[in-house]
Amino acid sequence: MKIQAAVAEAPGADFQMRTLELSEPQPDEVRVQIKAVGLCHTDLGVRDNPVGFLLPAVLGHEGAGIVEAVGASVTKVSPGDRVLISFRSCGVCPNCETGQPAYCRQLLPMNFGGGRMGGGSSFEGEPVSSNFFGQSSFATRALTYERNLVKLPPDVPFSVAAPLACGVQTGAGSVLRALDCAPGSSIVVIGGGTVGLSAVMAAKVRGCDPIILIEPMAERRTLALELGATHVIDPAAGETPPAVRAIAPFGVDFVMDASGVVAAVQAAFFYLATRGVIGLVGVPPGGSQLQLPMDLAITFGMSVRGVIEGDSDPEIFIPELLALHKAGRLPFDRLITTFPFDQINEAIAQQAMGRVVKVVLLMD
Ligand SMILES: [Zn+2]
Ligand SMILES: [Zn+2]
């Protein structure tokens, strides 16, 4: 069927609104009418550095909408269901079977293969890559898969739900699942975008203290204090290790990096308490290298670990996040600014200038 899509044409270039022909659902596919989709840094990262993902492409991986058609083997959802579309996983590999689908053995081909697993784009006609995160939801319709989908309760607007699919889930999951910060533990969060601020909110849910955000933009530091940060540090104001140590003299138990800035993470080794853990969450430019101070790491029992999607199992974790939101304990809706879908390039410009934290595009 004919759909409208925002097509990534070339690195650094604006998205182009185009009419594409979306093929009919295969037996394992679900067609969703997209009502809202979040903009995540990974969309722009892939557009601007499309290693292994051929442009032109339809990106977008925080879709929310209404199931419109299902393939013959689909049983989890039916037309009319309200759904959130998260990342794709196989469901049968050892990591999926133990509740870690973000580390699915098929994660790369299923989410970044540029087409269906059997080959070929789900767009007909001229070549346009599809199946980004198993959805390509910068479009009015998307083909996706049962394991991407989480059903949404009727009282959750699509515009609020969308960022749960990646950004909020990643930030909150990093604290609540991956690092599994204990109540009373101390944490530094680096970077006050959607992922970092979601980590701050989750740290408050978990009862961490202190919760320190390092972020250069004053408005975001102010917002972080409202959302649960106990302290904020402006990295432009001077060396950060003494600033952290002034708050936590023995260092902090956890550092969660949402910035992907190598120099910012490098400094984090000097924030850590004994047996402290650094979680790498923000994606740096390809090929970035961190220098591990081996003697410190050994002497103080430090760890560094990478975290994808907050170690989330969306089927389990998204309902938990929705419950926290409903209880007023995870007010991530405060991060969201909505734009009409056809203003995607204006929205990206606003976000680049730091005027908005989380862009959600609306299809209606
Ligand atoms: Zn798997
Ligand atoms: Zn994302």
Q: In angstroms, rounded to a whole number, what is the distance separating the alpha carbons of residues 94 and 90?
A: 10
CB 31 within 8 A of CB 25: yes
Q: In angstroms, rounded to a whole number, what is the distance separating the alpha carbons of residues 301 and 185?
A: 16
Secondary structure (H, E, C), the chain: CEEEEEEECCCCCCEEEEEEEECCCCCCEEEEEEEEEECCHHHHHHHHCCCCCCCCEECCCCEEEEEEEECCCCCCCCCCCEEEECCCCCCCCHHHHCCCHHHCCCHHHHHHCCCCCCCCCCEECCCCECCHHHCCCCECEEEEEHHHEEECCCCCCHHHHHHHHCHHHHHHHHHHHHCCCCCCCCEEEECCCHHHHHHHHHHHHHCCCCEEEECCCHHHHHHHHHHCCCEEECHHHCCHHHHHHHHCCCCEEEEEECCCCHHHHHHHCCCEEEEEEEEECCCCCCCCCCCCCHHHHHHCCCEEEECCHHHCCHHHHHHHHHHHHHCCCCCHHHHEEEEEHHHHHHHHHHHHCCCCCEEEEECC
Q: Quote the ligand 1 centre to 102 CA distance (angstroms).
A: 8
Q: Quote the ligand 2 centre to 39 CA distance (angstroms).
A: 8
Q: Quote the ligand 1 centre to 88 CA distance (angstroms).
A: 9
- Residue written as token pair 């209606």: 364
Q: Quote the ligand 1 centre to 314 CA distance (angstroms).
A: 13
Instruction: Note the ligand closest to the C-alpha atom of 135.
Output: 2
pTM of the model: 0.97
Instruction: Note the ligand closest to the C-alpha atom of 98.
Output: 1
Residue-level pLDDT at 150: 98
pLDDT in tens, the chain (364 residues): 999 999 999 999 999 999 999 999 999 999 999 999 999 999 999 999 887 789 999 999 999 999 999 999 999 999 999 999 999 999 999 999 999 999 999 999 999 999 999 889 999 998 999 999 999 999 999 999 999 999 999 999 999 999 999 999 999 999 999 999 999 999 999 999 999 999 999 999 999 999 999 999 999 999 999 999 999 999 999 999 999 999 999 999 999 999 999 999 999 999 999 999 999 999 998 899 999 999 999 999 999 999 999 999 999 999 999 999 999 999 999 999 999 999 999 999 999 988 899 999 999 8
Residue-level pLDDT at 265: 97
